[in-house]
Amino acid sequence: MANLPHRTKSRPVPSLTQEMTMEILSHLSVKDLLRYRSVCKAWRTLIDSPSFIRMQLKCSKLGLFINGQQNLYWLDLDTLDSVDRLGESIVSLMPPPDTGYMGCCNGLIIATDDTICNPSTRNYMKLSPLSMVIGFGYDPLIDDYKLVIEAPLCGTQLHCVKAKTWKKLSCSDAFSKNYGYHSGHAFVENRLYWMVWSKASCTRFIFSLDLQTEKHSTLAFPFDTKTTCVFGPVEFEGCICVVRCDTKATNLPWSFEIWGMRDHKECDCSWTMLFSLVAHDSDSFYYVLPLKYYKTTNQILLKIGYKLFLYDLKTNTYEPLNVPFLAKYERVGAFLGVQSLVGF
């Protein structure tokens, strides 16, 4: 009789703790996490828990939401080739490419009809149709999202989304009396920034509001805004960024200057010109906005008009972003953001 193989005693497989499970799951995509909620009740409870949602948000990667004519996509900024199609049903909540939008904060966006939504989870909530959202951001002290809203009869108000509270800002009367509002905003380090113009001098400024302390200040541009066309402010690599275009140039090529400010105090604004750009003769330049800097290739991802380009700082040249699905769209809307499980 042949000798039977020696049987070794099997070792028990160590079970994963909840902390280990949360750590592993937090690195998965939102699309996978939404599917894994159906695995069992325990996973559903874990994935829906506030602590896991915060952990997943910390692990989330910054990408680019791209709004085409029929679909909404999310593009991985590191590879520039991993595209996640978020579907058509959420597109009705998104603005068309040729209109404004409020950008993204922790995966939440404000759509053209003042709808706050999470395009990754497809949750949304309608805001008051009688108000205009100026900007929004997150207050970590109270774990809530705050909207700065201009209401015709109530002035400038602060709306806490989760708490569902409204409050008139102390700067409301001064803001309405002295300034006019330009669309677009940036949210950096608990502060909202947006461009305003002085009703007295027609000079443009940047209005800054701390969402935690509700203190406000005005920041001067690094150039004369009366003789130039100005875009921004936007966030770019942690900086507050504005773009200058000389409106005196009646013929192409136009030149653009991109200025950035990393830190500011109420009495001291330190601007630095980051780079400049000269347009191709054949391009129709509505505006130029920087999105991301790639250190290894020394390139910058730009939104020029309604298209995306990579600008090479070494050669001072730019080429269209080579992503196959973009070829079918003549123009797109695009803004930075992450995919998250954040709700309201």
**Residue (of 289, 287, 295, 291) closest to 314 by Cα position:** 295
Report residue 194 as tokens.
Answer: 């947006």
Residue 290, preceding peptide bond in cis (omega within 30° of 0): no
pLDDT attached to residue 92: 52
The amino acid occupying position 294 is: Y
Percent of the chain whose predicted confidence (pLDDT) is above 90: 20
Tell me phi and psi for residue 25, to 5 degrees. Answer: -65, -30
pLDDT band at 298 (very low <50, low <70, confident <90, very high): very high
Q: How many CA atoms lie within 13 A of 235 on its CB side?
A: 20
- Name the strand (E) or helix (H) holding 85: strand 83-87
Query: What single DSSP character describes residue 226?
Result: S
User: Are the beta carbons of 293 and 280 closer than 8 angstroms?
Assistant: no
Dihedral sign computed on CA atoms, order 100, 102, 108, 110: negative
DSSP codes of every residue in 4-44:
PPPPPPPPPPPPPPHHHHHHHHTTS-HHHHHHHTTT-HHHH
Where do the domains of the chain lie?
18-60
The residues with which 243 forms a beta bridge, in sequence order, are 231, 258
What is the mean pLDDT of the segment spanning 322-330? 81
For residues 240 and 260, is the Cβ–Cβ distance under 8 A?
A: yes
- DSSP three-state, residue 92: helix
* 297 has pLDDT over 90: yes
**Structural element, H or E, at residue 57:** helix 50-59
Whether 262 has a pLDDT exceeding 50, the answer reads yes
Q: How many helices and strands in the chain, by DSSP H and E?
A: 5, 26
**pLDDT tier at 332 (50, 70, 90 boundaries)?**
confident
Q: For position 107, what pLDDT does the model report?
A: 92
Q: Do the bridges between strand 299-304 and strand 288-294 make them parallel or antiparallel, or are there none, so unpaired? A: antiparallel
Q: What is the pLDDT of residue 99?
A: 43
Task: Please tell me the pTM assigned to this model.
Answer: 0.82
Per-residue pLDDT reduced to its tens digit, 152-196: 777 788 889 889 888 888 878 777 777 777 667 889 888 999 888
For residue 137, is pLDDT > 70? yes
- Does residue 330 come out as left (phi exceeding 0), alpha (psi in the -120 to 50 range) or beta? alpha
pLDDT computed for residue 264 by the predictor: 63
Cα dihedral value 325, 329, 334, 338, nearest 10:
-30
Contacts of 234 (CB under 8 A, 6+ apart): 184, 186, 241, 242, 289, 290
- Could you give the C-alpha distances from 38 to 41, 88, 123, 176, 265, in angstroms and in order? 7, 23, 18, 50, 49
Per-residue model confidence (pLDDT) at position 14: 46
Residue 252, pLDDT score: 57
